[in-house]
A and B are shown apart, each in its own frame.
Chain A
Amino acid sequence: MNAAHGRLKTLVVFDHWSWLLFVAWFTVATVLNALGSSAGAAVTYWGIVAVLVDNVMRLVLLAAHFELEKKSTYLGLTVVLILAMIASILFQLWVH
């Protein structure tokens, strides 16, 4: 139980550090864009990639929590959610 809660705590700590990272990242991108630097677009591009990866990482940590709590149904559902997000992106790209 404690280990499982520890995993949720890991998610909170992960969120805290990613929050700091994104504040720094988008501050740099904003300043570079304001100065007219062409690097601003590249920094923003990789910032958005990092945001998307961060979302997947949060789900992976959630899955790890369910695994430790031995809640196999929720673990399976979290995996389905990750796949549904990927399927949604691919499907919408295909449709549009």
Chain B
Amino acid sequence: MTEVLAYIGCGVLAGLFGGYLGLGGGVVIVPFLTLAMGVDIKQAVPVSMAAIVVNSLSASSEYMKKGLVDIEIMVPLAIAMVLGMIVGSSALYFVPQQYVRLLLAVILVYSAVSLLRGQEKPAHHREQNKRTRLIIGCLLATIGGLMGGLAGVGGGIILIPLMFLLIGLPLSTARGTSSFIVGFSGAASLGVYFLSGLVNLTVAPPVMLGSVIGGKFGGKLGALAKPKIVKILLFIVLLWVSYKLVTTAIREMQ
């Protein structure tokens, strides 16, 4: 019983955190399941993916209610991301992943610093060269998806800085749009794990239950959040993921 409550608690925490920031929540779930609960990483990742998808359903709906999802930017970026992930996962056996992890870590550190220093752009600025910036954004989302697929990093962490810094969306809209996209890219991965029989059907329900509840409240809070707090939290998450990428790459090189 205690174990079940711990899984639900993990899901709620991940849902709150992921929904608030517009990420999936895998940053919380995978370390918790592997380090605190002793779940094997091969089982933790599919469970995390299932939780990310239901978290996205809950959180993105809250952002959408407040008009914080840009659906016209979301659709092309989601296509670019999914296509990049297809290429990335198929190139797993041909590309040395440790170098991709190091490169992605450098990009994420740069994004973290730029995000922290970046200012919201006025509406008229967003309209200038909108199409060109969207095309460049799609190209970068494809590369981001490709690198994410190779390095095992989710889409939100790449998409939010991209939408805020390059496309010029307000941070709240970038997070709302990202929370929508991670659901679609996550569903594609979940479908694979599910059809391969890799989702642990005992661990998944309490984590998904927690995540679906936490995502709702995370989305509600996230839609009202102050940009400064969000920027600091995203900065910390981006640095944390970069650190994990570097340590994993160094371990693989040894």
Contacts and interface: CB of A to CB of B under 8 A. Distances in A.
Q: Are A and B associated in one complex?
A: yes
Interface of A: 8, 11-12, 15-16, 18-19, 22-23, 26-27, 29-30, 33-34, 40-41, 43-45, 47-49, 51-52, 54-55, 58-59, 62, 65, 71, 74, 77-78, 80-81, 84-85, 87-89, 91-93, 95-96
Contacts of A88: 82, 85-86, 188, 191-192
Contacts of A81: 75, 78-79, 82, 184
A65 to B, nearest CB: 7
A52 B194 contact: yes
A92 B192 contact: yes
Question: Chain A at the B interface: mostly helix, strand, loop or mixed?
Answer: helix
B184 A85 contact: yes
Contacts of B204: 44, 48
A85 B188 contact: yes
Given A54-B57, A88-B188, A89-B192, A30 B209 contact: yes
Interface of B: 1, 4, 8, 50, 53-54, 57-58, 60-61, 64-65, 71-72, 75-76, 78-79, 82-83, 85-86, 89-90, 183-184, 187-192, 194-196, 199, 201-202, 204-206, 208-209, 212-213, 216
14 contacts: A8-B71, A12-B61, A30-B209, A47-B205, A47-B208, A51-B190, A51-B208, A55-B183, A58-B57, A74-B75, A85-B187, A88-B86, A92-B86, A92-B90
Given A48-B50, A84-B82, A92-B188, 10 more contacts: A11-B64, A18-B57, A26-B206, A40-B201, A51-B57, A77-B79, A91-B86, A91-B90, A92-B89, A92-B90
A30 B184 contact: no
B4 A62 contact: no
